[in-house]
Amino acid sequence: MRLCYFPRVKLCRGFPPFRSVCSLLSVSEGPTRQVVRMPMLAMIFIFVSSLSEAAASIPTTCQVAIAGGGLGGLAACAALRQRGIDAQVFEAAPALLRGSTGTGIMISANGFSALESIDASLPDKMREIGARIVRQNIHVCRQDGKQLKELSLDSTVNFDRFGADQYNVAWARAHEVLAATVPEEYVHCDCKLESFTVSGETVDIEFAGGHSVRASLLVGADGAGSAVRRMVAGEAACLTKYNGQLLWNAILPTARVRAHADGEVEYYTCGADGQVILAFDAGEGQTSWYLTILEEHAPPATKALLAEAAAEGTVFGGFGRHGVKDELKQAFAAWPVAVELLEATPEAQIFERRLCDRKKLMRWQDKSKRVVLMGDAAHPMVPSQGQGTMVTWEDAAELAECLVARAGAGPKGPTSLDVPAAVDTFVARRAKRCAMVQKFSRQAYMGRPSPTFYPLKMVSLTRSFRKISKIFGYKS
């Protein structure tokens, strides 16, 4: 009876508990052998039984398989399940919730419209964890820190213009809200997609560790480094385009440093191209801060690390590089607010990265139209406009709408999905808009100097105003 569990374990060899079982087995040498044997067997039985249950809970078929359990994959799963479609999430990480990402995100009106369409309970749940933004203060400074002017913008006008207030939330809390919306039996961790094969009306998806699932549709929601994008669109579509800017960010209790008032955003341009300080209320007593500098103006130690990473072909960035705090304190010495934020933040919680995106992709589906991309996998963007998640949630809502519109109705929910037609409609609706937001995010990078010649300045402002209206005013 016990033996029959072992083939199951083999299927799941990526599970960390399996590695523990192996190491326990290897203890059975030497004089202690008899002493440890019985309890060891009992422990193995318990371990293996629990592994068997975990493996058994991973389905072998579903209507829609979603690779990636980030902000997009979970939203898509919620939207599809709301409409009676059997969607399941397959996430590479061993655990779905991974704690702080050091990031606060802005939920604008288009995001609320998408959330409403995904699941009508979501907008209020996000508002509960967020801060309603009432004011944005823009400080225009010289390189020596002297403030030249300050603009104070009333953010409550967003409600009249676009039908929703802006709320800022911590990325990790938004992820938790989405995770709580999708029942956990439909989310499978430790399932890293490795390949897929389409045959006829199904797609077989293989995960590291040997498990596989057969679905009518595979959704690649596997983020900016998407493996599905590589398989759908090829290597050339996966070249990283750096925008030449470095970003440091963290999230910390507002009680530790008062860089903004409740419900407010403070934005400082520092007199040098691409150099800004941003601090905002991220809800639940948290402050989210960002510092940016152009790579060419980066502190010498950072530049050296960038060059090293480029020479070795490795990725620059991550949490908690030793010495980063001192370098940033020097680079932002003229702005007390930046120095205070840095002093209040443990170095291990500062995330640094090179900002980048990829060239626009207009075809998100493979030839069979049974595999489609969404979110950062389809349109990774520079976070200058705070729109990455917003357009990802729009994707989630519209993918679900397109699938339902093309499905036959059965007693337990939509049946006989016309996947290829739905996928074509979805991409036709989404690709152009997302390419526009991606391009605008790249062009209007944080701290881009506005033209000094007045007529040009007005043209630039009017263009930005129009783009922002188009982005925020969109209804899913």
Ligand X SMILES: Cc1cc2nc3c(=O)[nH]c(=O)nc-3n(C[C@H](O)[C@H](O)[C@H](O)COP(=O)(O)OP(=O)(O)OC[C@H]3O[C@@H](n4cnc5c(N)ncnc54)[C@H](O)[C@@H]3O)c2cc1C
Of the candidate residues 390, 403, 423, 431, the single one contacting ligand X (CB under 6 A) = 390
Q: Is 141 in the site for ligand X (CB under 6 A)?
A: no
- Using the contact rule CB under 6 A, the part of the chain among 46-54, 211-219, 387-395, 441-449 near ligand X is 387-395
From residue 242, alpha-carbon distances to 69, 310, 355, 458 in Å are 25, 12, 6, 28
Query: Maximum Cα–Cα distance for the chain, whole Å?
Result: 88
Q: Is 69 in the site for ligand X (CB under 6 A)?
A: yes
- Using the contact rule CB under 6 A, the part of the chain among 64-72, 138-146, 232-240, 315-323 near ligand X is 64-72
Rounded to whole angstroms, how far apart are CA atoms 13 and 60?
Answer: 17
Of the candidate residues 269, 275, 287, 392, the single one contacting ligand X (CB under 6 A) = 392
CA dihedral (158, 159, 160, 161) positive or negative: positive
Min dist. Cβ of residue 321 to ligand X (A):
16
Min dist. Cβ of residue 439 to ligand X (A):
15
Q: Which is nearer to ligand X, 119 or 376 (CB)?
A: 376
Q: Which is nearer to ligand X, 67 or 372 (CB)?
A: 67
Min dist. Cβ of residue 453 to ligand X (A):
31
Amino acid at 258: R
Q: Which is nearer to ligand X, 40 or 468 (CB)?
A: 468
Number of shown-chain residues binding ligand X (CB under 6 A): 32
Q: DSSP character for 314?
A: P
- Tokens read off for 247: 């970003």
- Using the contact rule CB under 6 A, the part of the chain among 221-229, 237-245, 256-264, 461-469 near ligand X is 221-229
- Tokens read off for 255: 């009680």
Q: Is 382 in the site for ligand X (CB under 6 A)?
A: no
Q: Which of residues 265-324 bind ligand X (CB under 6 A)?
A: none
Rounded to whole angstroms, how far apart are CA atoms 135 and 155?
Answer: 5
Q: Which is nearer to ligand X, 247 or 407 (CB)?
A: 247
Please name which of 341, 342, 349 lies closest in space to residue 101, comparing C-alpha atoms: 349
Q: State phi, psi for 308 to the nearest 5 degrees.
A: -60, -45
Q: Is 178 in the site for ligand X (CB under 6 A)?
A: no
Rounded to whole angstroms, how far apart are CA atoms 78 and 169?
Answer: 19
Of the candidate residues 9, 51, 64, 105, the single one contacting ligand X (CB under 6 A) = 105
Whether the CB-CB separation of 396 and 374 falls below 8 Å is answered with yes
Of the candidate residues 21, 36, 40, 93, the single one contacting ligand X (CB under 6 A) = 93
Whether the CB-CB separation of 271 and 334 falls below 8 Å is answered with no
% helix, strand, coil for the chain, step of 5: 45, 25, 30
- Using the contact rule CB under 6 A, the part of the chain among 30-38, 159-167, 269-277, 385-393 near ligand X is 385-393
Query: How far is Cα of residue 45 from the mean position of the Cα atoms in its chain?
Result: 38
- Using the contact rule CB under 6 A, the part of the chain among 117-125, 176-184, 220-228, 302-310 near ligand X is 220-228
Min dist. Cβ of residue 356 to ligand X (A):
10
Whether the CB-CB separation of 42 and 366 falls below 8 Å is answered with no
Q: Characterize 378-409 residue by residue with b for buried, 16 or more Cβ atoms within 10 angstroms of its Cβ, and e for exposed.
A: bbbbbbbbbbbbbbbbbbbbbbbbbbbebbee
Q: DSSP character for 143?
A: T
Of the candidate residues 283, 386, 414, 447, the single one contacting ligand X (CB under 6 A) = 386
Please name which of 196, 178, 200, 197 lies closest in space to residue 187, comparing C-alpha atoms: 178
Q: Is 376 in the site for ligand X (CB under 6 A)?
A: yes
Please name which of 134, 133, 135 lies closest in space to residue 167, comparing C-alpha atoms: 133
- Using the contact rule CB under 6 A, the part of the chain among 15-23, 54-62, 101-109, 252-260 near ligand X is 101-109
Of the candidate residues 221, 246, 419, 446, the single one contacting ligand X (CB under 6 A) = 221
Q: Is 106 in the site for ligand X (CB under 6 A)?
A: yes
Min dist. Cβ of residue 67 to ligand X (A):
4
Please name which of 219, 211, 217, 215 lies closest in space to residue 191, comparing C-alpha atoms: 211
Of the candidate residues 299, 388, 414, 447, the single one contacting ligand X (CB under 6 A) = 388
Of the candidate residues 110, 113, 384, 387, the single one contacting ligand X (CB under 6 A) = 387
Q: Which is nearer to ligand X, 141 or 390 (CB)?
A: 390
Please name which of 265, 271, 308, 273 lies closest in space to residue 293, comparing C-alpha atoms: 273
Q: Is 441 in the site for ligand X (CB under 6 A)?
A: no
Q: Which is nearer to ligand X, 48 or 277 (CB)?
A: 277
Q: Is 222 in the site for ligand X (CB under 6 A)?
A: yes
Q: Which is nearer to ligand X, 92 or 305 (CB)?
A: 92
Q: Is 123 in the site for ligand X (CB under 6 A)?
A: no
Q: Is 414 in the site for ligand X (CB under 6 A)?
A: no
Q: Is 375 in the site for ligand X (CB under 6 A)?
A: yes
> Which residues, at least 6 apart from 472, have a Cβ–Cβ distance to it below 8 Å?
108, 109, 110, 158, 161, 162
Applying CB under 6 A, the residues found at the interface with ligand X are: 67-73, 90-93, 103, 105-106, 192-193, 221-223, 227, 247, 249, 375-377, 383, 386-390, 392
